[in-house]
Amino acid sequence: MTFEIKMPALSPTMEKGTLARWLVGPGDVVKAGDMLAEIETDKATMEMEAAEDGRIASIVVPEGSADVAVGTVIALLGDGEGGAAGPGAAPLAVPVVEVDVPALPLREAPAPVVVSNLDTTHAATPLARRIAGAKGIDLGGIAGSGPRGQIVLADLNLPSRTAMPIVASPVAQMQAPVRAVPPEGVPVRTEKLSTMRKTIARRLTESKQTVPHFYLTVRCNIDPLLRLRGAINETLADRGIKLSVNDLLVKAMARALGQVPEANVQFAGEELHRFDRVDIAMAVAIEGGLVTPVIRDVASLSPGAIAQASKALAAKAREGRLMPQDYEGGTATISNLGMFGIDEMVPVINPPQAMILGIGAGIEQPWKVDGEIGLATVMAATGSFDHRAIDGAVAARFMAAFREMVEAPMLIVA
């Protein structure tokens, strides 16, 4: 008798994935915790581990297979002798993700937890034991609905942290993908879209079709900010910390949202989420697409701590090592193209957030400096706002607060 290993949900929004590489083959003996395969999601490539001991009976989905739906049987597991798995075996493998709620589509995963005491006296899957230990749930009084009466995650009856399901609008449902035919006689190479590119296309198309965007731009004299950055970097040089302009802009954005909390919100159908903490997602360009790792509780971090966090997250993103807790959530996003010499950018909102700030390059130009016309380094910042959640006056106050922070940067570090 064999049991099924299924494609896991490696993030709350994952619906499909690419089975990039098998790390085991038919006949291989595996133990709980052994790595079985590498799964490519829209954010990163992650490893999937075995839930129980056994022997790989067969590989159902070959490596390199794209768009494998979550829950699809990808392999079969038998016991170490090639027969049925013994008592306590589970019919699936679990991802290496530290979460305290189910990693299911349309649910938001919170920060990782550390479990010090797992209940191993009852028949339950490893993930169910780990979650029960973290939540202090007694497995003794729970009837298992899994194979052979095992307690599975759904049996714990954990409350969902999502206020309401996300339902595609009729507009989004009616739109069919356009399959453009290349013009005749023009040399062309046609490539299949990666999982990441498909996800970017779907999410941003949905954003522009269903979210009523409006845009506000401010221009800031960033010379004071550049001088402050130079002074901080000189002070922190012996500690190996080097601030970028973007690090200080992230801090300025967090302070501005603290001053105008009405902009730190999210539209949710008949509800409006008002956040008491500022978590800023930063757009990072990687090979084949874009990801948005999140810096948590930015208002409480020093500029040096922000620099360390942003550098570490950007490195993980470019190496494909981001975990779901690195990129899920975020109450607002910043996207900076200034390093590419772009004068001004108007970004698309990153759903389900209600705002994103686009940053252009600092350009030397005539400006009123100390009451006289002189030269200053001027940066354009454009905010894209969800008009369902944020009114024009609120957005204007946020943009004014952001400009004040940039032009008087001691307010950032005070």
With b for 16 or more beta-carbon neighbours within 10 A and e for fewer, the 160-182 pattern comes to eeeeeeeeeeeeeeeeeeeeeee
**E-assigned strands of 90-231?**
94-95, 213-221
Q: d(Cα 247, Cα 121) in Å, to the nearest integer?
A: 49
Confirm whether pTM is higher than 0.85.
Answer: no
Question: In DSSP terms, which residues pair with 221 in a beta bridge?
Answer: 378
Q: Tell me: the pLDDT tens digits for 24-52?
A: 888 888 888 788 998 887 667 777 888 77
Query: What's the pLDDT at 176?
Result: 54
Confidence check: pLDDT of 410 > 90: yes
- Structure confidence at residue 399 as a pLDDT band (50, 70, 90): very high
Looking at domain 206-413, its CATH superfamily turns out to be: Chloramphenicol acetyltransferase-like domain (3.30.559.10)
pLDDT category, 88, cuts 50, 70, 90?
very low
The answer to whether 127 and 94 are in contact (CB under 8 A) is yes
Give the helix/strand (H/E) hosting 206. Answer: helix 195-210
Joined tokens for residue 15: 């619906």
Task: Decide which of 101 and 132 is more confident.
Answer: 132
Give the closest residue to 156 by CA, choosing from 189, 174, 130: 130
Backbone angles phi, psi at 145, to 5 degrees: -110, 0
Query: What CA–CA distance (Å, rounded) separates 276 from 315?
Result: 28
Task: Give the type of residue at 248.
Answer: L
DSSP state of 298: G
Mean pLDDT of the chain, nearest integer: 82
pLDDT of 393 higher than 90: yes
Q: What sign does the CA torsion over 270, 276, 277, 283 have?
A: positive
The pLDDT assigned to 98 comes to 38
Burial of 31 (0-12, 13-18, 19+ CB in 10 A): exposed
User: For 3-112, which CATH class?
Assistant: mainly beta
Selected catalytic residue, list 122, 213, 273, 387:
387
352 prior amide bond cis, ω within 30: yes
Name the band, by pLDDT with cuts 50, 70 and 90, for residue 84. very low
Contact call for residues 36 and 130 (beta carbons, < 8 A) = no
Q: Quick one: average pLDDT of 371-396?
A: 96
Domains of the chain, by residue range, sit at 3-112, 206-413
Residue 227 pLDDT more than 70?
yes
End-to-end Cα separation, the chain, in angstroms: 66
Nearest to 412 by CA among 335, 330, 298: 298
* Residue 220 tokens, joined: 């800031």
Q: What is the pLDDT of residues 157-203, one digit of tens each?
A: 765 433 333 344 444 444 555 678 889 899 999 988 888 888 888 88
For residue 154, name the pLDDT band (cuts at 50, 70, 90): low
Q: Can you give the pLDDT at residue 133?
A: 74
Q: Cβ of 230: how many Cβ atoms within 10 Å?
A: 11
pLDDT in tens, 255-286: 999 999 999 999 999 999 999 999 999 999 98
- CB of 24 closer than 8 Å to CB of 51: no
Task: Band the pLDDT of 65: cuts 50, 70, 90.
Answer: confident
* Amino acid 175: pLDDT: 53
Residue 213 designated active-site: no
Higher pLDDT, 155 or 323: 323
| Contact (Cβ atoms closer than 8 angstroms) between residue 295 and residue 280 | yes
pLDDT at 86: 41
Which two structure tokens, joined as six digits, stand for 403? 């400009």
User: What one-character DSSP code corresponds to residue 261?
Assistant: G
CB-based contact 153:129 (threshold 8 Å): no
Written as six digits, the tokens of 265 are 């919100």
pLDDT in tens, 97-112: 333 433 333 364 334 3
Phi/psi at 137 (5° precision): -90, 130
Contact 405, 248 (CB under 8 A): no
Distance of CA 302 to the CA centre of its chain: 23
In this structure, what token pair is assigned to residue 353? 């957030």
- Going across the sheet that includes 35-40, the strands are 65-69, 16-22, 35-40, 45-49, 94-95
Question: Rounded distance, CA 89 to CA 395, Å?
Answer: 54
Among 6-20, 306-320, 386-400, the minimum mean pLDDT is found in: 6-20
pLDDT higher for 288 or 364? 364
Single out the residue of 80, 34, 87, 40 nearest to residue 57, CA to CA. Answer: 80
Q: Residue 413: enclosing H or E segment and its boundaries?
A: helix 410-413
Q: How far apart are CA 202 and CA 127, in angstroms?
A: 31
% of the chain beyond a pLDDT of 70: 79
Residue with tokens 């008491």: 276
- At 158 the pLDDT is 63
Taking each helix axis from N to C end, the angle separating 392-407 and 245-259, rounded to the nearest 10 degrees, works out to: 130
